[in-house]
Amino acid sequence: MLGIVLALMLVGVIGVAAGSAASAHRLSTAETTLSNLHFFWMHLAFLAIGMAVMFAASMLPRDSARRLSILLAAGMFVLLVAVPFVGTEINGARRWFRLGISVQPAEFYKPAFTVLIAWILSWRVRDPGLPVVLLSGTVLFASGGLLMLQPDFGTAMLLSGVWFVLVITMGMPLKRIGWAIGAIGTVVVLAYFFYNNARHRIDAFLGGSEAYSQVDLADRTLMSGGWFGRGLWMGERKNSLPEAHTDYILSVIGEEFGLVAVAGIAMLFCALVVRVLWRLAGEDDLFTLLAGTGLAALLGGQAFINMAVNLQLFPSKGMTLPLISYGGSSMVALCLTVGLLLAVTRRNPYLTRDGLPKGLRR
């Protein structure tokens, strides 16, 4: 699992190197001229911090990882309450705090929320009568409402998807699954009629994107590389692509390294999710099963959404490609996600399923 993660990080280093110059030129001003590799060097710095966080989190005992996630979820929830009022506005959205660098609380809230929901649902083992689905749904509803105030409809939908995966994994009856699908569908419909951000994005997607919109430019850039790409730093369309080093880095990779490279990235994410599920297939602890499945769904779901946007299959979401896109708080938060995933799925190879040492059992 760690090998797959490191392979994705290596792809990200190459991808950011390919897209750094395009973004540096677009963001340079008369007062400040950014070097061609400005975002590449910044990416390496954030990646180093993220890897340190990942390895530290991966070494935590399972109970400590759970407690850390619960405390982080509480802290980030408080910041989500505050960010619409005192946060920094960028491109029409107020999602960040300026602390020397821009920190986005929602990025750290995603893995913490996932583990928190897994913990709440795992209460069912101790008392089957507890309304764990209702309690977790309340947390989801409150979290989604705060995210939509920013506005951040994409993250709200991603967390809804993670919650849905977890309640299915827990074994929720089909009737309740139908109610859950209906509730999520109702929220989407209400968002379309009463939430301008969602309505504009959905209308643009269903009505066909305008020529040279962000999604259209990303699709054109990705497809222009053909099967094997134009070569590193040989892409041209990336120069007109906004956010070439973050949200649309997959299109830059497609132009310079081809559709074969894009397919390879998709396969790496699939391999990561399958590896986690394979690891959990024989797990008998409900919290571990739910937390591992939820974190894998979080990483895989975010990757799926980003790739679908680049392929013009989804409306623009403003969501990075995990472990590949440039990002400060985003990269550190994703590394924390991987660290927590490694922590909750780690087993002692000298212990059997029933907890007895192999030698003693023999």
Q: Chain centroid to CA 350: how far?
A: 33
pLDDT of the residue at 203: 65
Closest CA to 337 of 44, 43, 54, 79: 54
Over its C-alpha atoms, the chain yields an Rg (Å, rounded) of 21
The number of beta carbons lying within 10 Å of the beta carbon of residue 48 is: 11
Closest CA to 115 of 136, 131, 133: 136
pLDDT of the residue at 359: 52
Diameter of the chain measured on Cα atoms: 75
pLDDT of the residue at 108: 92
Rounded Cα distance between 67 and 69, Å, is 5
| 122 neighbors 163 (Cβ within 8 angstroms) | no
Report residue 203 as tokens.
């209308």
Tens digit of pLDDT per residue, the chain (362 long)? 899 999 999 999 999 988 888 888 777 776 777 788 888 899 999 999 999 999 999 999 999 999 999 999 999 999 888 888 877 777 666 777 776 677 888 899 999 999 999 999 998 888 888 888 889 989 998 998 888 887 787 888 899 899 989 988 888 777 777 777 777 777 777 766 766 666 666 666 565 554 446 677 777 777 777 788 787 777 777 777 777 788 888 888 888 888 899 999 999 999 999 999 998 887 888 899 999 999 999 999 999 998 888 887 777 777 889 999 987 888 999 999 999 999 998 876 655 554 445 454 44
The number of beta carbons lying within 10 Å of the beta carbon of residue 250 is: 25
pLDDT digits (tens, 9 = 90+) for 226-249: 788 787 777 777 777 777 788 888
Output the CA torsion sign for 180, 185, 191, 197.
positive
Q: Which residues of 227-249 are buried (b: 16+ CB within 10 A; e: fewer)?
A: eebbeeeebebbeebbbbbbbbb
Closest CA to 314 of 326, 301, 325, 323: 301
First to last CA, the chain: 30
Q: Residue 98 carries which DSSP code?
A: E
* Residue 59: φ, ψ to 5°: -90, -5
Rounded Cα distance between 282 and 305, Å, is 29
Tell me the CA distances in angstroms from 30 to 11, 26, 27, 102, one per residue in order.
33, 12, 10, 23
| 102 neighbors 329 (Cβ within 8 angstroms) | yes
- Number of residues assigned to the chain: 362
pLDDT of the residue at 211: 43
Which amino acid is residue 350, in one-letter code?
Y
Give pTM, 2 decimals: 0.86
Q: Chain centroid to CA 38: how far?
A: 24
pLDDT of the residue at 340: 95
Which residues make Cβ contacts (< 8 Å) with residue 41, sequence separation at least 6? none
Output the CA torsion sign for 151, 152, 156, 161.
positive
| 57 neighbors 65 (Cβ within 8 angstroms) | yes
Q: Which class for 167: exposed (0-12), middle (13-18), buried (19 or more C-beta within 10 A)?
A: buried
Domain positions in the chain are 2-23+35-346
Closest CA to 7 of 261, 283, 308: 261
